[in-house]
Structure formats: C-alpha cells, structure tokens
Chains A and B, each alone.
Chain A
C-alpha cells in the first residue's frame, strides 16, 4: 500500500520558515482553506498553521549544534487521532496513506488533537473545525499542473532543497531512497504512532578554518581591511 510522506534533510534545512509561509499561502486559498488568522495586524497575531519550524540546540557550550525541525502532520501509519474521532471526520486514505479531516463531518470536539502526540493539529476558531496538513492533496493530484509541480507547496518552495516528497513504500521513489541510504528516522518513535514523515539525521562536520586564519584574518590582508572598514562605517551610521 502506498504511503505518501515528506522526508526532510536536517543537514540542509536552514530554518528560514519559507516552507511554513508557502504552506500557509497555498492552503489558505486552497480547497482545505482558509487557515484563519486572529488579530493578524494587532499586538498578538496568531492563527492556524499546518507547518511550524522549531529550532533546537544540542550539546554543551562550546560544543553545541543548532538544528531546525519543520513539523507538520506526520501522516502516521497507526494514526492515534483517527480512531478517537466520534464522527469519522478524521480518516486515513487507503490509497495513499494521507490523513485528512472532512470538514463537513467535523463537530469540533478537539479530541483528535488531544490524541496527537506531535501537536500537529490546530483548531480553527473561526471555521470551528480541526485543521491539519493535507500533503497538499489538491496539488499532488491536480492534472492541470505540470508533473514537476505536483508536489506539496513546502517542497516546491524550500530554497535549500531540504524536502523530499514521495511514496516511502516505493523503492523507486526519491523519498524511499533518501530514507534507506541516509538513515532516515522518525520523531518520537515510542508513541507507537509510526509516523510516515522522516528526517535525515545531521552528520557532524568540522570546518577547517586554518586557511581563513592564516591568510585572511591578518592586518595586512586587503579583504580583512575592507571588511573591517565596512563594519566600522556601519556602526558609525547606526
């Protein structure tokens, strides 16, 4: 059985939030929109987002690493949010494994979000229904789009090309290969939810800065002097 999912390369993700913004932009006007905003131009703007980017620091100073985790619905294979839904509004599609919410059946009881260990469902206070990532189902099956565009908005927009989309059960897919070849892993495996979205682990890299120190960070280096001059000028302007 097919299982569509996202695979995110944590080596490449720079935490620019472009995926989250483009997700919001596409989906708020798409078939599963709007993604309502509350107080958008006020002091405490908030609203529904399908995708949120978290930044974590691991290790102890000075040996620390910063990494970014974009987190949207993980389209779990044993999705705990689905069986608790009293109306059947939350369901997992058999043909591609995408977890969706039927807004016409959702009564807004929020029980599905209580049973999501990843916090990937958000209640729309204006529409009064639960909303979540659809893997841009209205894009990926849209035959009016060229095949190269039939991907989730977050994947298409990622400037660092950190996101892959595909069937993680299909050995020919890019997503499957990335998981197998680069040790893709899932968030919070102990929940038993078996998430479909995977992350490619960071590989530790040490930068060799000796060349920089020897050739550039010298008082007689033209590049160093130019940079220093500009820093001073900008500070004075400020």
Chain B
C-alpha cells in the first residue's frame, strides 16, 4: 500500500495527544506529584496536537469541505466512527483545558476525554484491522498495537514534559519502559506473522483449477494506473529493508536504552528526554511508513504484484 503522509501525520499527532492525555490524567488521579501546571500543559499540548492532526488528516481527502459528511455512516463505517469520536474527544478536551485554565478540575470530564480518546484510537485501528483484503493488517494485534503505540508516543511526550516541570518525578520511567517493550513485542509479532499468512493465489482470484500454473501476460495498460500506484509502492518495497530496521532502532531500541538509563540514574534531563521523544516520534513516522508499505492488497493479484505464499 502506498503510505499517505497525511495519515501518518495524524497517527503521530493524534496518537501523542491521546496517549499524553490518558497518561497525565491517570497519573493525576494516582499520584500527587503531578502539579496543576503540568496537567494544564499536558492538556493544552494534547489539544493543540489533535487540532493540528485533524487539519493534517484532512489533506488525505479529495474534498476537505465535505469532511463533515463523514458523520453520516456511524452505524457501519469505522472511518465515520473515528471522525465522530475524534470530534467529541477534541471538544471535551477543549472544555477540560478551559476548566483547568480557570482553576477547576473536573474528574468526570477528564474521564470522558480519556474514554473518547481511546474510542477514537480504537476506531482508527479498526479501519485497518477490519480490512480483510490487506491480510498483514487484518488481525486483532493491529488494534492492540495501535493502542500501545499511542501510549508509547504519549509516554515519550509526558517524559519530556516532566523533565521540564518536575525532573525529580520518576514514576514515568517505568511506564515508558513497559509500553516500549510491549510495543516492540507487538511489532515483532506483526513482522514474524507475515511469512505465515495464508495468502490467496492468482488461480484462486480467477477461480481457476489449482493444478495448472497461471501467469499474467498483459494488464491492459502500458503505464501505471490508480490501482497499481495506490496498492503497490514499488520504491517503498525496495527501501523497506533499510527503513524497517531504522524504524526499530529509533522507535524502540534507542528510547528503551535511555529509559533504562533514566531508571538507573533516577533522574530526568531535558536534553536526553528531548532526544528520547524525538527518537520515538521520528521512529514512529518511519514505522507507520513501513506499516503501509508492508501491507499487500489482494487486488494486486490481478496485476501480478502480490507476494506468493512461499516468499
């Protein structure tokens, strides 16, 4: 699949927003070390991120001004649900941030913000996980992985925020380490699973007997078309062997090493926390790029571009 940059942008901005708010809200309930100042800053940054993410995601649409119509098919479409839940999340977050600004903290509204943020994340993940024609994505692990990635982005951002406002607070180090390890394991499973996916063949697509070899002779066009460009990214496939290890390094390995350092040193430093967050952020952008490029749509069978079961 061709990676749409606007959706990758929404993933990292929306993901950081939901993850950051969820974690900061939970820590505020569970710990007295989260000051009102940090809570306000976290909420404000989350609000800015979801707003910027929503604007960025609209660049994926052919008709941005009609985007409001996406609320119509809540009953059947995960994209419609994502639009509605994200909208409610943003609106509630704005209300919550305004309340904080006026020195009022509403636990109930905060809980609703968390709930709709997670529902929005779940709906986004389901857009991919429910697509049964991209078998790499069509697994419950995609949903779990999305949610953990959101928390990982949020933990990275919160760690950076705390390094500015409360360097002595060490509670975030363990959370960061746990979500990093979980996200790494889920990504590893995502990759290990791919060679074992039972893939359809061209004979199955053409509904022909399986005992004879079939091959594409002519695809009816001498140049690329929408289907070959949208569902198969040749340049991406060629670069995957470089970008995927780099994504692992930046998203998981470097931040994990620094998280262990934080844990051992029991101290947070702005510069190092900044490096960790930047590493998670840039790694996640690369990781999402790989996620799209790794996805193979079954329509590619008709163009001779689908991997065989053996490869």
Q: Is A62's CB within 8 Å of the partner chain B?
A: no
For the complex, what is the distance from the CA of A159 to the CA of B120, rounded to whole Å? Answer: 53
Q: Is B76's CB within 8 Å of the partner chain A?
A: yes
Q: Is B297's CB within 8 Å of the partner chain A?
A: yes
Least CB distance from A188 to B in Å reads: 5
Least CB distance from B22 to A in Å reads: 25
Pick from A107, A113, A114, A199: contact of B66, CB under 8 Å: A107
For the complex, what is the distance from the CA of A186 to the CA of B205, rounded to whole Å? Answer: 9
- Chain B residues whose CB sits within 8 angstroms of the CB of A83 once the complex forms: 73, 76-77
Query: CB within 8 Å of B: which of A77-106?
Result: 80, 83-89, 105-106
Interface contacts (Cβ under 8 Å), in number, total 158
Residue tally, chain A, CB below 8 Å to B: 57
- Chain B residues whose CB sits within 8 angstroms of the CB of A45 once the complex forms: 223
Query: CB within 8 Å of B: which of A107-148?
Result: 107-111, 113-119, 122-123, 127-129
Pick from A48, A86, A187: contact of B73, CB under 8 Å: A86
For the complex, what is the distance from the CA of A113 to the CA of B204, rounded to whole Å? Answer: 20
Q: B43-51, B126-134, B147-155: which lies at the A interface?
A: B126-134
- Chain B residues whose CB sits within 8 angstroms of the CB of A192 once the complex forms: 132
Pick from A52, A114, A128, A190: contact of B62, CB under 8 Å: A128
Pick from A20, A107, A185: contact of B220, CB under 8 Å: A20
B62 and A107: CB pair below 8 A? yes
Given contacts A85-B77, A86-B83, A119-B302, contact A187 B69 (CB under 8 A): no
B207 and A191: CB pair below 8 A? no
Least CB distance from B205 to A in Å reads: 5
Query: CB within 8 Å of B: which of A47-69?
Result: 47-49, 52-60, 66, 69
For the complex, what is the distance from the CA of A62 to the CA of B61, rounded to whole Å? Answer: 50
Q: Is A29's CB within 8 Å of the partner chain B?
A: no
B77 and A106: CB pair below 8 A? no
Least CB distance from A143 to B in Å reads: 33
For the complex, what is the distance from the CA of A80 to the CA of B67, rounded to whole Å? Answer: 21
A56 and B214: CB pair below 8 A? yes
Least CB distance from B302 to A in Å reads: 6
Fill in one digit per residue for B202-227: 1 if any A CB lies within 8 Å of its CB, else 0.
10111110001111111111011111
Q: Is A44's CB within 8 Å of the partner chain B?
A: yes
- Chain A residues whose CB sits within 8 angstroms of the CB of B297 once the complex forms: 114, 119
Fill in one digit per residue for A183-206: 1 if any B CB lies within 8 Å of its CB, else 0.
001111111100000010000000
A53 and B212: CB pair below 8 A? no
- Chain A residues whose CB sits within 8 angstroms of the CB of B76 once the complex forms: 83-84
B221 and A52: CB pair below 8 A? yes
A109 and B61: CB pair below 8 A? yes
Query: CB within 8 Å of A: which of B44-99?
Result: 60-64, 66-67, 69-73, 76-80, 83
Which residues of B does A touch, CB under 8 Å?
1, 60-64, 66-67, 69-73, 76-80, 83, 127, 131-134, 200, 202, 204-208, 212-221, 223-227, 230-231, 297-300, 302-303
